Homo-oligomer: A and B are copies of this chain.
Amino acid sequence: MKTVIESVPNISEGRNSEAVSEIAAAVRAAPGVRLLDVSSDAAHNRSVLTFVADETGVRQGVRALFDAAVPRIDLTRHSGEHPRMGAVDVVPIIPIRGATVEQCVALSREIGAEIAERHGIPVYLYEDSATSERRRNLAAIRKGEFEGFAEKIRAPEWKPDFGPDAPHPTAGVVAVGARPPLIAYNINLGTRDLAVADRIARAIRHLGGGFRYVKALPVELAERGEVQVSINMTNFRKSPLHRVFECVKSEAERHGVAIVGSEIVGLAPAEALLMAAEHYLRLERLSAEQVLEMRLLEE
C-alpha cells in the first residue's frame, strides 16, 4: 500500500454490541479497507473504529460506515457521558504516508459532499479542513449537541458546509476533516505527589505556555504508588515525543523526581518512534527507504 490514510470514525453506539459488530463488518468488507481496531465504551455509549486505506478505499470505507450506521443508530433515543451530535459523530481523515494534508483536506470535502447527498445529513468540515477559524475546533462545532442543533443550525455562522439546513431526524449532523495523527503518550513519575504531575502537565501543555501541540493532565496511579503526566500529542511532527519527554525529565528532576517509565496507548505511526531514534542516536539522515519494513509497504 503506497498511500496510507487512516480514519478513526466515532459512532454514537457503545452498548448494542450486535449493531457495532454489523457496522464494523460493513467497514471491513469495503474494498481496499483494513480495519485495525474497534473499541466500544458503554458509559460513553460510543465506539471508535480505526481503519486504513488509500484515498479510494477511505471513500468506500466511510460510505459503508454511514450506510450501516444511519439505519442502526437513533440519536433521539441515545444517552451517554460523551457529548455527541451525530449517529456518526466525527470522521477524521489522517495522512500517514504517501499523502499530504492537502490531499486529505480535498478527500474530506469529497466525502462530506457525498454524505450530505446520500443521507441528507448536514456536514461540518473541521480541523485542517475547516472553512472558518471557529470550525477548526470540534468541541465548538459540537456545542449544543444533537438536541440543540435544530436551533443552532439556523444561525448563519453555523450553516453547514454541505447538506440541508436542518439536522437529520435520527442521525443529526457530522464533522469531517483532515488532522494529523494523535498519539496518546503517558509518562510515569516516581512519586505519589500529584502536585508534581500537575505542575509538569501545566509546564508542557500549550494552554500553560508549553508545546504548541501538547495537551496534558495529571493522573494518580494509586496502585503503582506513582503519578502520571497523561499527554495527548496532536501533532508529533511539530511537537515530537523526544522533545516532550526531555522537557518532562528536566522538570521532574527539578522536583527531585525520576521518570519511571512511559507508554504509548493504542496505535502510533512508525515515524513518531523513528524520529526519537534519529534524535538520540544523532543520525545525520535516516530515510524511510532505509527501514526494511517501510520499503515493503511501498510496493
Residue pair A282, B259 in contact (C-beta under 8 Å): yes
Q: Does A222 contact B (CB under 8 A)?
A: no
With beta carbons under 8 angstroms apart, the residue of B34, B52, B97, B284 that contacts A261 is B284
User: Shortest distance in angstroms between A207's beta carbon and chain B's nearest beta carbon?
Assistant: 24
Contact of A292 among B188, B267, B299 (CB under 8 A): B267
Q: Tell me whether A292 and B36 are in contact (CB under 8 A).
A: yes
Task: Let me know if A269 is at the binding interface, CB within 8 A.
Answer: yes
Tell me, in angstroms, the Cα distance from A293 to B261 when the chains sit together: 24
**Docked-complex contact A263 and B277, CB < 8 angstroms:** no
Q: Are A296 and B264 in contact (CB-based, < 8 A)?
A: no
* Contact between A267 and B296, CB atoms less than 8 A apart: no
Interface pair B276/A264, CB less than 8 Å apart: no
A242 within 8 A of B: yes
Partner of A294, one of B34, B188, B270, B281: B270
In the assembled complex, the CB of A245 is this many whole angstroms from the nearest CB of chain B, namely 5
Q: Verify A270–B270 contact, CB threshold 8 A.
A: yes
Given contacts A274-B273, A276-B276, A277-B273, contact A292 B263 (CB under 8 A): no
CB-based nearest B residue for A245: B281
Beta-carbon nearest neighbor of A52 in chain B: B296
Within residues 267 to 299 of chain A, which ones have a CB less than 8 A from any CB in chain B?
A: 267-270, 273-274, 276-286, 290-297, 299
Q: How would you classify the secondary structure of chain A's contact residues: helix, strand, loop or mixed? A: mixed
Chain B residues within 8 Å of A241, by CB: 277, 281
- B273:A292 contact, CB within 8 angstroms: no
- A56 in contact (CB, < 8 A): no
Query: Contact flags (1/0) for A222-233 with B, using CB distance below 8 Å?
Result: 000000000000
CB interface residues, A 243-277, toward B, < 8 Å: 245, 259-264, 266-270, 273-274, 276-277
Verify B281–A52 contact, CB threshold 8 A: no
Interface status of A1 (Cβ within 8 A of chain B): yes
**Interface residues contributed by chain A, number (CB under 8 Å):** 45
* A293-B262 contact given A241-B281, A276-B277, CB 8 Å threshold: no
B-chain residues with CB within 8 Å of residue A285 when the two chains form the complex: 263
- On chain B, the residues within 8 Å of A295 by CB distance are 36, 267
- Asked whether, in the complex, the Cβ of B262 is within 8 Å of the Cβ of A34, the reply is no
Which A95-140 residues sit within 8 Å CB-CB of chain B? 96-97
Report if A4 contacts B (CB, 8 A): yes
Distance in angstroms between the alpha carbons of A267 and B278 in the assembled complex: 15
Contact call A262/B283, Cβ cutoff below 8 A: yes
Partner of A290, one of B260, B266, B280: B266
Q: Assess whether B267 is in contact with A291, with CB atoms less than 8 Å apart.
A: yes
Q: In the complex, what residues of B have CB within 8 A of residue A261's CB?
A: 282-284
Of B34, B273, B291, B296, which contacts A4 at CB under 8 A? Answer: B296
Task: Decide: A263 and B276 in contact? CB cutoff 8 A.
Answer: no
Is A6 an interface residue, CB under 8 A from the partner? yes
